[in-house]
Structure 1
Amino acid sequence: MNSKSLIVKDLMNKSVATIVTKNINTASVFKKYKIDFSVHGNMLLTKACDKKKVNIKNIVNDLKAVNNKVYYLKDYNSWDLDFLIDFLVNIQHEYKEENILFLKEYGEKVAKIYGKEYKELLKVNRLIQKNADTILEHMKNEERTIFPYIKKLVEAKNKKIVVNISNSPLNSPIESIEDEHEKVSKIFKKICKLTNNYKIPENTCISYKVLYLKLQQFEELLSNHMHIENNILFPKAKKLEKSLLLDL
């Protein structure tokens, strides 16, 4: 078997999340084929392609064409957990909080101007308004419970100290957070479908264009954010907690 065949076989036997975890640049390929890598990323590439009726040869070629060089600033899988949490809170949460408020404002504004002509905007606006508060509360819950606990685990390991894990939030609360990820992901998939993949109609004002561009950017960041939490941060935190239990 030549090296090319080995690469193809290796990709086919990996889950979608594993591929993106190794190289975040591959996320753009999965977005292109509308394959979920953040919430249902545990699916093998072959199965994901079958489900979406995607020619696996095409996607493998695209994956191989992606720059294989992974820069540290995007290699989230190699970051320390406490540093990864700081990034999620100070960069991504801040971006999400600022932009979800922007989307609420512009969703309402554009729906009022164009809602009669483009009926889908009324549905899009309702989804934005409904989803916004959920996302904001979701981030607060992470910052209040999950993230501080994971930081305590990291500190316990580094300083070789005992940490109270009797009320660990890494079971039911994390499952609840992952369920919320799935609900939010479904809502944005609906928005994407309603907007015909964020296609901007002709002869519309700048507010309409800005809304669609912001929605698309927000969905892309959201997918990456959920991938980092579901497939990198949470599994590593559970593994760390388990290792501390064994050391007691």
Structure 2
Amino acid sequence: MSVTEQTEVSLSEQRVGQLVADDFRYAHVFSQFGIDFCCGGGRTLAAACDKAGIALSEVETALSKINSEGQKDDALNQLPLGELIDYIEANHHAYVREKAPLLMEYSQKMVRAHGERHAEIKPFAGWVRALIDDLTPHLMKEEKILFPAIRAMAAGETVEGCFGHIGNPINAMQHEHDDAGHMFEKLHELTNHFQPPEHACTTWRVCYATLAEFEADLMQHIHLENNILFPKALAL
């Protein structure tokens, strides 16, 4: 959708997932304001702002600055499905596998050093483990089952598998995306939105910062799948 078309249809009434699909730079603004544009991509901007507890006018001002910067980068949206999958695997799947062990290490160090004195540490570490334990098989299911099927469909080949319609594994992956979003809601509650207390040690601070970065990457990761890859696969 062009900037002119966005002006004709109020930003507040457009769905955040589609806004990001039209211009990936919007993702950075939404991340800064804590707006869920992946699992919550079906919400209008007004509804997403209301859920995040922020002023719609602040977000619209930030988005208007994006529009004034000129040509948008929609390269990922234009990639053939096979190349988009390559990008997701090489960047986002690889990122999860790189950072997940670090998050486990940092959170366990926090338990050993501070778990007995700070009640939030052990539940925090438990949710980090639950998140990683869910994401690890999730990546494998995409790489071994869903992505090969989408590649075959895009190439006009016969899809082999026991899952029936391609919508079935897509629905399963979207459900698991929602689960990850719920886990991050718990982590936000336990960490004051990843803001370490004044007494936090270096590991504590690094862990929160890494987790915030991890969430931002995962939101972009899920957005590419939920709002671009999966709809295009279903349309084949």
**TM above 0.5:** yes
Q: Does the C-alpha gap of structure 1 residues 5 and 172 become closer, same or farther in structure 2, counting only changes over 3 Å? A: closer
Are the aligned partners of 1:39 and 1:230 in contact in 2 as well (CA < 8 Å)? yes
* Structure 2 counterparts to residues 1-248 of structure 1, below 5 A: 7=7, 9-66=9-66, 67-71=69-73, 75-156=75-156, 162-164=157-159, 167-168=163-164, 170-240=166-236
Deviation larger for 21-30 or 221-230: 21-30
Are the aligned partners of 2:23 and 2:73 in contact in 1 as well (CA < 8 Å)? no
Distance 2:113 2:174 in 1: 36
Distance 2:37 2:65 in 1: 18
Q: Does the C-alpha gap of structure 1 residues 86 and 115 become closer, same or farther in structure 2, counting only changes over 3 Å? A: same
TM-score of the superposition, structure 2-length normalised? 0.88
Distance 1:110 1:53 in 2: 30
1:216 offset after TM fit, Å?
Answer: 0.7
SS in 2 for 1:191: helix
The Cα offsets for residues 16-50 of structure 1, whole Å up to 9 and x where unpaired, read as 10111111211122223322110121112233234
Q: Does the C-alpha gap of structure 1 residues 20 and 4 become closer, same or farther in structure 2, counting only changes over 3 Å? A: closer
Distance 1:188 1:50 in 2: 18
Are the aligned partners of 2:19 and 2:26 in contact in 1 as well (CA < 8 Å)? yes
SS in 1 for 2:224: helix
Distance 1:206 1:175 in 2: 40
- Structure ID, larger Rg: 1
Distance 2:91 2:227 in 1: 19
Partner residue, 1:246 = none
Identity within the alignment, %: 29
1:122 offset after TM fit, Å?
Answer: 1.1
RMSD between aligned residues: 2.3
Distance 2:70 2:17 in 1: 16
SS in 2 for 1:18: helix
